[in-house]
Amino acid sequence: MAPPLLNLAGVYLSFGGTPLLDGADFAVGPGDRIALVGRNGSGKSTLLKIAAGLAEAQDGEIFRQPTATIRYLPQAPDMEGFATVRGYVEAGLGPADDPYRATYLLEHLGLTGEENPAELSGGEARRAALARVMAPEPDILLLDEPTNHLDLNVIEWLEEELIRSSSALVVISHDRRFLERVSRATIWLDRGQTRRLDRGFAHFEEWRDKILEEEEREQHKLGRQIVREEHWLRYGVTARRKRNVRRLGELQALRQRHRSHRGAEGTATMVASDAAESGRLVIEAKSIAKSFGDLNVVSDFSTRIQRGDRIGLVGPNGAGKTTLLKMLTGELAPDSGTVRLGVNLEIATLDQKREAADPNETLAHYLTDGRGESLIVNGEQRHVASYMKDFLFRPEQARTPVHKLSGGERARLLLARVLSRPANLLVLDEPTNDLDMETLELLQELVAGFAGTVILVSHDRDFLDRTVTSVIVPDGEGRWIEYAGGYSDMLAQRGASKLEDRKQRSRTVADEEKSAGKQPEPGKAISRKLSFKQKFALENLPKKIEAATEAINRLEDKIADPNFYERDPAGFQKTIAALDKERTDLAAFEEEWLELEMLREELEA
């Protein structure tokens, strides 16, 4: 095995009270693809900064290969002192690095390089920072929330770029689909300590739940053992004094172990405050349009949203999602067309900007609007400290100013405020930003089970697939199209639609040429046939798919042996790695075969 490029062992860091990091370990080897996961506030960003050499631990050993290059992507990049984005990006290159790489990344990330860093939006700043850390093609890339503020096209491009990259990767992200695609190992930071799973993020949640269940059983056993020992000391047959003293010492050690155990972090409790039921028709838009100067944002769009619908708005940054959302909810008047809102609507809105009216306002004051120490939630009076605990805030944080909160804590606070308001229409603009996985799961369940209507804007593909009943996406020049189902359903429908359009264009061209008495040009005739290589692949891919399927079945049967790991841990890990490779190969074979089969059908048509 190759020596690690980066190794952290026994890292300890405390700011007083419970340690933030308490013996955290992780190692990064050449080509590793690691997802670093954990609750908001668990210390993930701090651990990444320590790995990058930007923060100091109070204890522990840190080894960085002297020849290894490491680049770190912060959540808030500092571009002060640079006149242009290109200057900022090229400042990250070393003497031997290719300057063309910076140009390539800027182009693919939608930047010219001549922008003024001080005038960049959040998404543009994130793209510039990505170009800076990726341009040198370092040995290790440490990425802290790389997908924040990025639209879906850029996220999907970034996935492919990282998969092709030779750099080792450690990434923190709330985007499940992104983590599933780019990771091959998972490190879980929990209660100050780390655990490693040598499989990608797709397998993390099942593994985590098993660990927590086992931990709960162990604590239950320990509690029962303490009860038995206490019973023996009080009522057992008197033995030699020396034995009693020894056993009493063991009991005290058990009690200390039980007291010192840090239980799993609590889970947020999210329940939307119900308002009276709205009318069946919630929103009806007819031929609405909106332009800003020469920019046509929405053109002749119509839709009917009924009670119980969950609508997702998807599209690149700047496409007009927020503008369309404001028109649908009556906040912004269309230039033409009409919007009719249903009766008895109570709207609760989560703003994308995540800003409270006053950053110096305390949490309690913000949640209650300054009306004392309590608020009404679902018709019941709740003390603000009690309600805050539902969203994982400690009672002593009630007097904390809003600006002191982390990004994840601010996201939870905003959700707490929105969900305390009676509503039958939830309007959520980028609700998943900065949420940890557990809170994201609860929000997902809330949205999917909400009795009223939901309209949300999101770049989180997995969240959309799990929650919405239809998706509205831009189609260029202000046109918007609604598709039934989630994000994946939309992609499938758009793919089928585009294939049918290509077939129709081919038929039209062929009919025109036939009616004009034209013969196809020799060059065109060749281009309208599968190449020898494509034909060979189309014939042989089914055999590869079958072989990969059989290999997967054999490996899964082997792993199913309950004694396999105990008998041969190294062999078990090799089998897991082989299974992951076969699954990856199978997905690639199936995708290639599908593309070739669609091409063959198109050419024959």
Q: Which amino acid is at 512?
A: E
Provide the β-strand partners of residue 376: 381
Q: Tell me how many degrees the CA angle 184-186-191 measures, rounded to the nearest 5.
A: 175
pLDDT given for residue 577 in this prediction: 78
Asked if pLDDT for residue 550 goes beyond 60, the answer is yes
The residue written with tokens 């900007």 in the block is: 353
Reported confidence tier of residue 70, pLDDT bands at 50, 70, 90: very high
Q: What is the CA radius of gyration of the chain?
A: 29
Asked if pLDDT for residue 339 goes beyond 80, the answer is yes
| Nearest one of 171, 181, 170, 178 to 150, comparing CA atoms | 178
Provide the β-strand partners of residue 381: 376
Yes or no: say if 323 and 471 are a contact pair by the CB < 8 Å rule. no
d(CA 37, CA 171): 9
Cβ within 8 Å of residue 49, ≥6 positions away: 55, 72
pLDDT digits (tens, 9 = 90+) for 101-142: 999 999 989 899 999 998 888 788 989 999 999 999 999 999
What's the CATH number for 6-206? 3.40.50.300
Specify the pTM: 0.66
Cβ within 8 Å of residue 48, ≥6 positions away: 36, 72, 142, 144, 170, 172
pLDDT given for residue 526 in this prediction: 40
Yes or no: say if 73 and 143 are a contact pair by the CB < 8 Å rule. yes
Measured from the Cβ of residue 543, the count of other Cβ atoms closer than 10 Å reads: 10
Yes or no: say if 282 and 345 are a contact pair by the CB < 8 Å rule. yes
29-33, 259-263, 355-359: range with lowest mean pLDDT:
259-263
pLDDT digits (tens, 9 = 90+) for 287-302: 999 998 888 899 999 9
Helix (H, G, I), strand (E, B) or coil at 287: strand
Measured from the Cβ of residue 94, the count of other Cβ atoms closer than 10 Å reads: 10
CATH of 520-604, one of 3.40.50.150, 1.10.287.380, 1.20.120.1200, 3.40.50.720: 1.10.287.380
CA distances from 225 to 228, 232, 251, 256, 572 (A): 5, 11, 9, 13, 34
Asked if pLDDT for residue 239 goes beyond 50, the answer is no
Q: Residues marked as binding?
A: 38-45, 315-322
d(CA 368, CA 377): 11
Which CATH class, in words, describes the domain spanning 281-485? Answer: alpha beta
Question: Which helix (H) or strand (E) is 493 found in, with range?
Answer: helix 487-515
CA 123, 190, 162, 466 torsion: positive or negative? negative
Q: Residues marked as binding for ATP?
A: 38-45, 315-322
Q: Which amino acid is at 299?
A: S
pLDDT digits (tens, 9 = 90+) for 437-461: 777 877 888 888 888 899 999 888 8
Helix (H, G, I), strand (E, B) or coil at 2: coil
